[in-house]
Amino acid sequence: MSKTLSPRLVVISGIPAGGKTAIAEELARRIPSGVLLSRDHVSYGGLLYVNDRAETPSLPPFEEYVKNDKVFPNDAERVETPFGPMTLIHDSARSDFYKRHAREQGYIIMGRVAAANMAAGKVAIIEGFLPRSIESGALKRFMDQPMFGAFPKFLIHVVADAKTLLARQKNRAVKDREAATRAKTGYLSEKGFGEFMEKEHPREPKGLKDLPHSFLETSSLSIDEAVTRCLDYISSPAE
């Protein structure tokens, strides 16, 4: 069932493998004016590609530039692009280059694109915010930006239990190259997975209670049930 909505901002936060992407994609399908903005799409689609050809002779070679950033040899590869061969940096916590140059920029890009789409009458659906952005206050500051001031704003926080998360993460590592790269760090071993997630990605991060939101536990929900609940929430008057 589709839902017609006036322009608004829908932000989906949560823990990895909680269901953020699946829910956001289905929301975009069911809302005729919905526009999906994914952090992964922004990062993988451009921010992590480096033009290291001889067009910038005044700069040091890229590998020299990032020699202390833990990019090489495990988190970079040469790939072909429409503009010739480039270096692709994987989305990996081991890489300081990613943390410095791409992690927050992806959110900034999505914010600008979301504001432009809402001004054109669209429902902007942003997914990809992790608990650390809530604990640092960054998500609140992001949603409070003046460019969003004229539009209703809704936050959906998505979680699942440890057993479900581990199964989803393992399945993702089989299908997704970036997820497979992250899995090489060993965090998908059953021993200590729950403790790792609670330390790095707590279900209810500090500061979440201070943000108007809908808390969605997806372990026992079908995608249809989860999205129906989300549609009910974002169709209500903004708090």
- Calculate the average pLDDT of the chain: 87
| Tokens (6 digits) for 54 | 């001889």
Which are the contacts of 218, defined by CB distance < 8 A and separation ≥ 6?
Answer: 18, 19, 23, 158, 159, 160, 164, 226
- 165, burial (CB in 10 Å: exposed 0-12, middle 13-18, buried 19+): buried
Please provide the distance, in angstroms rounded to a whole number, between the alpha carbons at the two ends of the chain: 25
Find which of 41-45, 62-66, 183-187, 212-216 is predicted with most confidence, using mean pLDDT: 212-216
The overall longest dimension of the chain from CA atoms, in Å, is: 56
* pLDDT tens by residue, 1-12: 678 899 999 999
Structure-model confidence comparison of residues 213 and 50, the more confident one: 213
The predicted pLDDT at position 177 comes to: 64
The predicted pLDDT at position 237 comes to: 82
Mean local confidence (pLDDT), 25-32:
96
Looking from the CA of 30 toward its CB, the CA atoms found within 13 Å total 20
Mean local confidence (pLDDT), 106-122:
97
The predicted pLDDT at position 112 comes to: 97
Number of Cβ within a 10 Å radius of residue 25: 17
Entry pTM? 0.86
**Residue 25 main-chain phi, psi, to 5 deg:** -65, -40
Q: With 70 as the cut, is the pLDDT of residue 18 above it? A: yes
Find which of 62-76, 123-137, 193-207 is predicted with most confidence, using mean pLDDT: 123-137
Q: With 60 as the cut, is the pLDDT of residue 173 above it? A: no
Buried b (16+ CB within 10 A) or exposed e, 130-141: bbebbeeeebee
Number of Cβ within a 10 Å radius of residue 118: 22
Cα–Cα distance, 89 to 110 (Å, whole number): 20
| Chain Cα centroid distance, residue 12 | 9
**Superfamily assignment of 8-44+102-234 in CATH?**
P-loop containing nucleotide triphosphate hydrolases (3.40.50.300)
Mean local confidence (pLDDT), 73-92:
87
| Chain Cα centroid distance, residue 130 | 7
* pLDDT tens by residue, 45-77: 778 888 877 788 888 888 888 888 888 888 888
- Tell me what percent of the residues of the chain surpass a pLDDT of 70: 89
Domain boundaries, the chain: 8-44+102-234, 49-98
The predicted pLDDT at position 185 comes to: 56
